[in-house]
A and B are shown apart, each in its own frame.
Chain A
């Protein structure tokens, strides 16, 4: 089986800065792949290497089995949806969308038909005559998307595509992007710093930090079984338990992560629970309430269902969780 995108020991250095440091990565055809990480972690550089805007300092990149060393962006069958959309301000929406076809000197009638079809696909039919400046952020996003898929690329790259949209629109676009990806069957690789977005949309996620890939896996893998403190911390709001603490509970001196929602909080003295702490802060989050609990100097976050029986600040509480919920990590880094 071929891979859609293959990165082998790829590095990209900017002077002394290692934006990417010996990355290995494979993306399968038709996959919805997310590159997740904080800003400056190298995820956007990785995307730009695949698009061809940057050349790797070392290593090999293949797209559908073909090496792309020294191949300029305009000869790669890969298209990008840019973070700030990069629509051409001097062209209207239709002209923007048929730009790739115009470059290929496709006849005018086909250009128009395909561009209108692409606009229909992103639910912007009838907006062809507008200028990008007259559109809202969400609409510009859709134009950028239509323009990027009109060429039917082998791989579609999306750089923080939803970053500039408000929450409601973002959720809607997440669903539409997923649906669009299913319709087109194109490999999608998208970059985001929003872990919720990565987990909800992607088939697989690569977590980046400081130019390295920390972990690659399905959203469940990443969320339930983080391999390092960084991943546990970055994806969601896990409690990172230091080895001394873990030893007290299971007798093994290892780092471990514990999801806030896996913790049951009870009134003090109700059971023979081994852990007792004090609620130091309480934040209402809608369906759940987050409690910050001080446990002999270790601070633990617990998410409990909102309701009347949520302990107040200053209350003494017991903490309980199953042995399985405590996920031991392979490295403490």
Chain B
């Protein structure tokens, strides 16, 4: 200890000027500090996001003159929502929701084993390899990947060629012969759209599940086995319930991303619209902003309902 320190008083002087004074102030007023940290996000969420969302919602209640296409802002009406329930629009909604649900279920089924192995068994460089493997597709352009899939799935594409080489073309043909989901080739069928959706959103399912499984303490698994549970029983009684918040988190991503996407079904699949495409065309070429806005409300309502159900089922209890 130097003499200078030995002779210092009980309270050390502020030697850092105004930054020191600021630190002292924040130390005494932690709430102010938290407020300042949150301010940019709060401004963004509160004004830019919620504000525009509100403006959008408002649009959906405006009437539109069907003949001239002029939006009448003078009075509010539910007419646009009635239009949503017309068969051709209801079709779009059902198609999108079924697709989103299928993509979510398939993603969860594919992601869980990957996430489980990564969380429970991968160590050191294997773990790094896992993260790299999951994240790598996210580094390349979304459009490039979707177009690449169009080529893979096309009739002259590599997938057809592989099936032909393996003398399994009949499997592919049987698949494409299925009503509704089949088609002329994978790249213009619902199966194709589904495959690409699953591929593109899979990382968003793997990562939350991996994080959830990793948080399950190993000694709970030991305890379960010790008390007589076979590995399968331990999985269903301990691991799965504790990993459920991760699965729900992942499904929120895959479900809502599929609900809102308009590029993938535009490039791959049938000519039938998904919600995103409907919004895109109504606010653009068709110029029907109220209907576009009403379509946008649909995924929001569905997601709200989904979260409410998940909460009721206790999906967030283990958080």
Contacts and interface: CB of A to CB of B under 8 A. Distances in A.
Interface of A: 51-53, 72-74, 78-80, 82, 84, 86-90, 99-100, 102-104, 147-148, 151
B171 interface: no
B317 interface: yes
Contacts of A99: 224, 227, 229, 237
B123 to A, nearest CB: 14
B242 A86 contact: no
B222 A73 contact: yes
B15 to A, nearest CB: 42
Contacts of B220: 86, 88
B228 A86 contact: no
Contacts of B225: 52-53, 72-74
A325 B227 CA distance: 47
For the residues of B in contact with A, the DSSP-based class is: helix
A80 B238 contact: no
A74 B227 CA distance: 6
A80 B238 CA distance: 17
Contact of A151 (B219, B228, B241): B228
B230 interface: yes
A72 B222 CA distance: 11
Contact of B318 (A51, A53, A89): A89
Contact of A51 (B226, B228, B242, B317): B226
A104 to B, nearest CB: 7
A84 B219 CA distance: 9
B98 interface: no
Given A89-B242, A99-B229, A147-B227, 6 more contacts: A51-B222, A73-B225, A86-B223, A88-B224, A103-B229, A151-B227
B217 interface: yes
A79 B237 CA distance: 18
Given A84-B219, A99-B237, A103-B233, A90 B318 contact: yes
B318 A74 contact: no
Which of A52, A80, A86 has the most chain B CB within a 10 Å cutoff?
A: A86
Contacts of B227: 74, 79, 99-100, 103, 147-148, 151
B226 A79 contact: yes
B244 to A, nearest CB: 9
A230 to B, nearest CB: 30
B158 to A, nearest CB: 45
Interface in B210-236: 217, 219-220, 222-230, 233
Contacts of B228: 74, 100, 103-104, 151
B319 to A, nearest CB: 10
Contact of B226 (A80, A84, A88, A102): A80
A46 to B, nearest CB: 15
A100 B227 CA distance: 5
B230 A82 contact: no
A82 B223 contact: yes
B57 to A, nearest CB: 37
Which of B223, B227, B318 has the most chain A CB within a 10 Å cutoff?
A: B227
Nearest to A157: B226
A112 B317 CA distance: 23
Contacts of A100: 227-228
Interface in B185-231: 217, 219-220, 222-230
A74 B229 contact: yes
A73 B226 contact: yes
Contacts of B223: 80, 82, 86-88
A82 B226 CA distance: 10
Contacts of A74: 225-230
A14 to B, nearest CB: 14
Contacts of A86: 217, 219-220, 222-223
Contacts of A72: 225
Contacts of A51: 222, 226
8 contacts: A74-B228, A84-B219, A88-B224, A90-B318, A100-B227, A103-B233, A148-B226, A148-B227
A52 B237 CA distance: 20
